[in-house]
């Protein structure tokens, strides 16, 4: 038993050293050097929303480079919980705003709610072509919107969908949301549930210790640097862009 305890302590010490080395590398710049063409830098943007009726709601966003290093994160918590759909879509809208602010022109968006990914992708593809969507009045619901939104959700969520779609031309690659398993979205989930009241934008050095540990575990113990894999047709666009 004592021998097993000694081995376990050594493994833990070794893992902690690896965590420390990796966190120390965060200040040395992000990712692999950008290249021209289809190998240019891309950023993984994980999002999540949190909703407890009558208690609180919030969202979390974390942007990582192509080797898993955090670039920036955002957390928001409010006692005025609106709806699960609202907080999920709000997280994606904030993620897009952050990417624009930080001049990240090649991003992959992720969330762990399939119906949210479908709704946002549908809106990105149709917001400029639907006559109802081109109106500035949010009291008309087209058939496509009615399928996924209640009247109350529509009034809250539709402006967010429009803002996401409107930001599309600012990116090198078309915006697309990919649904990922919850265990690959732990960092965004943590931010959504544990944010301070109001909006916070966090630099890598300002991340809570518990979140840093989640990022380290993702990096050390998972494939692909702990990043979700993109299963969208995005790669076809990237290859085409490089021709």
Q: Which residues of the chain have pLDDT under 70?
A: 1-15, 22, 25, 27-41, 125-152, 222-226, 229-243
From CA 9, how far away is CA 180, in angstroms rounded? Answer: 34
Rounded to 10 deg, the angle between the 84-101 and 151-166 helix axes is: 10
Helices 2-24 and 209-221 pack at an angle, to 10 degrees, of 100
The confidence score (pLDDT) of residue 224 equals 65
Is the separation of the CB atoms in 66 and 41 below 8 Å?
A: yes
pLDDT at 61: 97
pLDDT score recorded for residue 128: 45
> In this predicted structure, what is the pLDDT of residue 122?
80
Domain 39-113+168-219: CATH architecture, name and number where available: 2-Layer Sandwich (3.30)
Task: Say if CB 49 and CB 59 are below 8 A apart.
Answer: yes
Q: Per-domain residue ranges for the chain?
A: 39-113+168-219
Q: What pLDDT is recorded for position 142?
A: 54
Check: pTM over 0.85? Answer yes or no. no
Give how far Cα 183 sits from Cα of 23, 48, 186, Å.
Answer: 21, 12, 6
């Amino acid at each position: 038993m004592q021998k097993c305890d000694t081995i376990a302590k050594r493994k833990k010490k070794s893992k902690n050293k690896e965590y420390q080395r990796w966190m120390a590398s965060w200040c040395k710049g992000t990712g692999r050097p950008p290249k021209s063409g289809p190998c240019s830098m891309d950023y993984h943007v994980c999002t999540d929303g949190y909703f407890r009726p009558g208690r609180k709601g919030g969202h979390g966003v974390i942007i990582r480079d192509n080797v898993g290093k955090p670039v920036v994160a955002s957390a928001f918590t409010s006692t005025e919980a609106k709806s699960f759909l609202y907080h999920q879509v709000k997280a994606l809208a904030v993620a897009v705003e952050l990417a624009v602010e930080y001049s990240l022109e090649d991003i992959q968006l992720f969330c762990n709610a399939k119906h949210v990914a479908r709704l946002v992708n549908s809106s990105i593809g149709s917001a400029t072509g639907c006559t109802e969507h081109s109106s500035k009045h949010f009291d008309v619901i087209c058939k496509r919107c009615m399928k996924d939104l209640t009247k109350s959700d529509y009034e809250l969520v539709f402006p967010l969908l429009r803002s996401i779609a409107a930001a599309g031309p600012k990116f090198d690659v078309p915006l697309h949301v990919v649904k990922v398993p919850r265990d690959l979205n732990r960092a965004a989930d943590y931010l959504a549930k544990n944010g301070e009241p109001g909006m916070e934008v966090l630099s890598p050095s300002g991340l809570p210790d518990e979140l840093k540990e989640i990022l380290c575990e993702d990096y050390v113990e998972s494939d692909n640097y702990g990043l979700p894999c993109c299963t969208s047709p995005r790669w076809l666009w990237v290859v085409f862009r490089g021709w």
